[in-house]
């Protein structure tokens, strides 16, 4: 199954370095941290969250959450070497952590992200991409490459949020988005309970196989079975619906940064196969923490 989402660790690290440089430069150019970014957060709040992601993810990779518990003191020891018991605790935990650190100066947060990234890349020099550690949710483990792609996902998505809040252009990188999807989202979905990321009402009774193909390379099957989903390598099961996706658009759709209908209308999501009408149901059956 690993071939469904295998990526090269060297490519992931190179992409992450590039995105860190972009977001740090952006933050240093921003004066006002109060522009609306996403949900209830302004630019400063998103920047704080991103700076904390650069604490939490490296901490998980090194199997030492002590720095995380400096901003989440009531969470220490609850879930062993993981941070939360269930993926649906993530939203409240993230909000609590951001609220516990009042710093919102974009330049200060840029310095934090840059320093933490340098530390992480230094630590990677003594590791293998295959080394595994507990991930955020109790009972899950991922390898170092997945941790790197987790950081890539956070930096790509929140860099775009910050740029949007600041009114700056922020062209997405198709290759980096594909790495975030293949190297983080797919392996994490495969680690979680098969029902945890599925809308049980919308997926009830659905038995279907999707094959998602990313423009530029990479594909995987999503096997739905009455409220459960499994990520598998191509050719695992006969396909009902193929989806060809622009990786930048798909990442935005998966994280609710744009409507799937916009992506469909602009040709960035295309469906075909024995049951092409199933195409729009894929996003509707999946849910975000």
Kindly report the length of the chain. 289
Determine the Cα–Cα distance for residues 255 and 61; give it in Å rounded to an integer: 23
**What integer is the mean pLDDT of 31-38?**
96
Determine the Cα–Cα distance for residues 12 and 27; give it in Å rounded to an integer: 22
pLDDT in tens, 52-64: 999 999 999 999 9
Query: Cα-flanking dihedrals φ and ψ of residue 214, to 5°?
Result: -90, 135
34, 43 contact by CB (below 8 A): yes
Determine the Cα–Cα distance for residues 173 and 216; give it in Å rounded to an integer: 11
Confidence of residue 2 (pLDDT cuts 50, 70, 90): very low
pLDDT in tens, 170-213: 999 999 999 999 999 999 999 999 999 999 999 999 999 999 99
Query: CA geometry: angle at 103 spanning 98 and 109, to 5°?
Result: 95
**What integer is the mean pLDDT of 126-131?**
93
82, 138 contact by CB (below 8 A): yes
For residue 152, give the 3-state DSSP assignment: helix
Average pLDDT, the chain: 96
Determine the Cα–Cα distance for residues 114 and 41; give it in Å rounded to an integer: 22
Question: Does the pLDDT at position 1 exceed 70?
Answer: no
**How many percent of the chain have pLDDT more than 90?**
94
DSSP state of 192: S
Query: Cα-flanking dihedrals φ and ψ of residue 171, to 5°?
Result: -65, 135
Task: Give me the half-sphere count of Cα atoms (radius 13 Å) on the Cβ side of residue 30.
Answer: 30
Question: Does the pLDDT at position 37 exceed 60?
Answer: yes
pLDDT in tens, 67-86: 999 999 999 889 999 999 99
Q: What does the longest C-alpha to C-alpha distance in the chain come to?
A: 53
CATH of domain 2-190: 1.20.120.450
Determine the Cα–Cα distance for residues 176 and 267; give it in Å rounded to an integer: 20
For residue 179, give the 3-state DSSP assignment: helix
Determine the Cα–Cα distance for residues 267 and 205; give it in Å rounded to an integer: 29
Question: Does the pLDDT at position 89 exceed 90?
Answer: yes
Which residues lie across from 225 on neighbouring strands? 207, 228
Query: By CB neighbour count within 10 A (0-12 exposed, 13-18 middle, 19+ buried), where does 37 fall?
Result: buried
207, 276 contact by CB (below 8 A): no
Task: Write the DSSP string, 43-97.
Answer: HHHHHHHHHHHHHHHHHHHHT--TTGGGT-GGGTTTTTTSSBSSGGGHHHHHHHH
User: How confident is the model at residue 34, as a pLDDT?
Assistant: 97
Query: By CB neighbour count within 10 A (0-12 exposed, 13-18 middle, 19+ buried), where does 267 fall?
Result: exposed
User: How confident is the model at residue 217, as a pLDDT?
Assistant: 82
229, 194 contact by CB (below 8 A): yes
Residue ranges per domain, the chain?
A: 2-190, 200-285
CATH of domain 200-285: 3.30.1050.10
User: How confident is the model at residue 77, as a pLDDT?
Assistant: 85
User: How confident is the model at residue 3, as a pLDDT?
Assistant: 47
User: How confident is the model at residue 4, as a pLDDT?
Assistant: 55
Question: Does the pLDDT at position 26 exceed 70?
Answer: yes
User: How confident is the model at residue 7, as a pLDDT?
Assistant: 87
**What integer is the mean pLDDT of 24-30?**
98
**How many percent of the chain have pLDDT more than 70?**
98
Closest CA to 90 of 110, 75, 70: 75
User: How confident is the model at residue 6, as a pLDDT?
Assistant: 72
Whose tokens are 């090194």? That residue is 62
pTM above 0.95, yes or no: yes
pLDDT in tens, 130-158: 999 999 999 999 999 999 999 999 999 99
250, 219 contact by CB (below 8 A): no
Question: Does the pLDDT at position 273 exceed 50?
Answer: yes
User: How confident is the model at residue 5, as a pLDDT?
Assistant: 63
């Amino acid at each position: 199954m690993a071939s469904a989402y295998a990526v090269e660790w060297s490519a992931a690290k190179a992409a992450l370095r590039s995105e860190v440089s972009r977001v740090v430069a952006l933050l240093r150019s921003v004066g006002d941290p109060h522009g609306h970014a996403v949900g209830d957060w302004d630019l400063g709040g998103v920047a704080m969250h991103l700076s904390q992601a650069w604490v939490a993810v490296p901490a998980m990779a090194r199997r030492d959450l002590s720095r995380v518990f400096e901003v989440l003191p009531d969470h220490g020891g609850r879930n062993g070497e993981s941070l939360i018991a269930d993926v649906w605790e993530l939203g409240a935990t993230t909000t609590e952590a951001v609220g516990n650190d009042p710093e919102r100066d974009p330049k200060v947060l840029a310095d934090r992200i840059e320093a933490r990234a340098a530390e992480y890349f230094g630590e990677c020099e003594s590791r293998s991409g295959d080394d595994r550690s507990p991930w955020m949710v109790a009972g899950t483990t991922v390898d170092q490459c997945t941790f790197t792609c987790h950081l890539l996902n956070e930096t790509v998505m929140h860099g775009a949020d910050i740029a949007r809040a600041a009114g700056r252009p922020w062209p997405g990188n198709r290759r980096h988005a594909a790495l975030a999807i293949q190297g983080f989202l797919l392996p994490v979905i495969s680690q979680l309970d098969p029902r945890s990321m599925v809308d049980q009402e919308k997926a009830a009774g659905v038995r279907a196989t999707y094959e998602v193909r990313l423009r530029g390379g990479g594909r995987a099957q999503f096997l739905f079975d009455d409220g459960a989903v499994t990520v598998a390598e191509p050719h695992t099961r006969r396909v009902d619906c193929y989806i060809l996706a622009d990786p930048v658009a798909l990442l935005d759709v998966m994280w609710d940064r744009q409507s799937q209908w916009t992506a469909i209308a602009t040709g960035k999501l295309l469906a075909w196969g024995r049951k092409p009408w199933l195409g729009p149901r894929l996003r509707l059956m999946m849910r975000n923490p």
